[in-house]
A and B are shown apart, each in its own frame.
Chain A
Amino acid sequence: MDRPKSTEPLVAVRDLAFARDGRPIFRDLNLTVERGSVTAIMGGSGTGKTTLLSLIGGRLVPDRGTVEVAGEVVGSLSRKALFGLRRRMGMLFQSSALLTDLDVFENVAFPMREHTSLPEFLIHHLVLMKLELVGLRGARELFPAELSGGMSRRVALARAIALDPMMVMYDEPFAGLDPISMGVIVKLIRELNDALGMTSIVVTHDVVEACGIADYIYLVGDGRVIAQGTPADMQETDAPEVRQFMAGLPDGPVAFHYPAPGYLDDLLTGERP
């Protein structure tokens, strides 16, 4: 990419600590997302990847540390300023979160209608342009219930980019898709990022797809960043945590067994109390 870049990262998470229901999810998490890049945040289930997106989007407030997006500290913004910032962010939910009472066209038009007073013909053109990008111009009259999982995620993607955001956050965009739909989403994330000059944050546990599209990868676990680097770095590293995750080994630093007393003791103590 030869686009001139601002040296400031778009997202900077510093010394972040967050606990939910008394259970610590992050302690001392540090990461940055460069402008124009596709950054993958990886980790096992339950490591708080989705929580991290909620913190970046300002739906949750950190207990300690800061989350900065485009130079603004998210947790300290007023509701109005936060909503102003969110207009420049798109988010793709794992469930797509399409509005079930509106058809595909109206779903994509929704943010435009809510935030702009563009004339109807312009909204029409813009919506068709967004739908063309994700290849679903022909599906504009379908309702969300009539769409397959991959299609509804593409519609949600068209909606996420409806207002030409500076950044799109993807929450598990590959989960539960067939290989073809997955390939389409992978291609779209990379192409839209480069064509529209956006920044993308992809939260996922799919190693192959993440390595295929990400410029930079953070591996999150145990409340902090375990490893980071380009996909090539991550593949070559010797660190056991990284090796286990990247190769999908069942046992390693993340133990196969849930913590339990000794097997023999457990068997010998006899019946269940």
Chain B
Amino acid sequence: MNWDLGISGLGRRVISGVGRLGRATLFLVRLAPALGMAAGRVRLIIQQIYMTGVLTLVIVLVSGAFVGMILALQGYNTLVRYDAQSSLGLLVALSLTRELGPVLTALLFAGRAGSALTAEIGLMKATEQLDGMEMMAVDPLPRVVAPRFWAGWIAVPLLAMIFSAVGIIGAYVVAVGDLGLDGGVFWSQMQSGVSVSNDIIGGLLKSIVFGFVVSWIAVFEGYDAKPTSEGVSRATTRTVVSSSLAILALDFIMTAFMLRGL
């Protein structure tokens, strides 16, 4: 008996999940022309980049520095067993640019800015601001949703690069200041070992994809939220949960492709 219930419950969840994905895709199709229209309104986009990007900057700077310092400590601990501590700079730079920078930035962005984006759009819906715009003959998709989408999409790659850069500086401080490594070796190993086309562009590509997905989920959940306080709070939670899962799953897929050289 319980088995039946469990299986049908699982089926319901899968079906509703697939249905949601379909709704989100339809929403993206409707949003596409609005994205084109909004691309001309640079002022609105810059305003939103400030709202989403700059407000996430502090948390990205602090997290980046700590992650870099931890990487240096942990990496040194392992490398020193093989007497390879001179490669610490390379290890840190590769870990950050290829993996941790894009992924952690996207996760932080989803939690800090993605949730705020969802709540903002959801509340605008709940307080009839979107209806009001429609009645003023202003389409909310290009005016409200599209600039926020653009802003998120642009901000995430920029933030990821900042994250990696700060992380490397953090690692340098620990490696040279605390662990007593040679600064010149730290940088030169990094310079000779990190490839721009492979590692940096690869990481950038990841963060562009993450930025797209997080922004998409955030604006969709906000626009689709039930216009009540409970609906908005549920939508905010869903944004963080779905974004995090999507980021990690996509990261696995992209890493698998990239390491095999496409």
A64 CB-CB contact with B under 8 Å? no
Q: A97-B129, A100-B127, A114-B143 are in contact. Are A84 and B135 (CB under 8 A)?
A: no
For A143, list chain B residues within 8 Å (CB). Answer: none
Residue contact A93 to B136, C-beta cutoff 8 Å: no
> Which residues 87-141 in B have Cβ within 8 Å of A in the complex?
123-124, 127-129, 131-139
Determine if A83 and B137 form an interchain contact, defined as CB atoms under 8 angstroms apart.
yes
Looking across the interface, which residue of chain A has its beta carbon closest to that of B136? A111
Q: A114 to B143, alpha carbons, bound, how many Å?
A: 9
Whether, in the assembled complex, A91 has its beta carbon less than 8 Å from a beta carbon of chain B, the answer is yes
The residue of chain B having its C-beta at the shortest distance from the C-beta of A159 within the complex is B136
Q: In the complex, which range does the number of interface residues on chain B fall in?
A: 10 to 19
Q: Report how far A170 CA is from B139 CA in the complex, Å.
A: 21
Number of A-B pairs whose CB atoms are under 8 Å? 50
CB distance from B38 to the nearest CB of A (A): 13
Contact A100–B136 (Cβ < 8 Å): no
- Give bound CA distance, A98 to B143, whole Å: 15
Query: Do B137 and A84 have beta carbons less than 8 Å apart?
Result: yes
A91 & B127 in contact (Cβ 8 Å cutoff): no
Give B32 Cβ to nearest chain A Cβ, in Å: 16
Once the chains bind, are B136 and A99 in contact (CB under 8 Å)?
Answer: no
Distance (whole angstroms) from the CB of B138 to the closest CB of chain A: 5
Q: A57-B135, A99-B133 are in contact. List 14 more A-B contacts (CB 8 A).
A: A59-B135, A86-B135, A87-B137, A93-B128, A93-B132, A95-B127, A98-B129, A99-B124, A100-B123, A100-B124, A111-B138, A114-B137, A115-B137, A115-B138
Q: List 6 A-B contacts (CB under 8 A).
A: A89-B135, A91-B132, A95-B127, A97-B132, A100-B127, A114-B137
- The residues of B with any CB-CB pair to A shorter than 8 Å are 123-124, 127-129, 131-139, 143
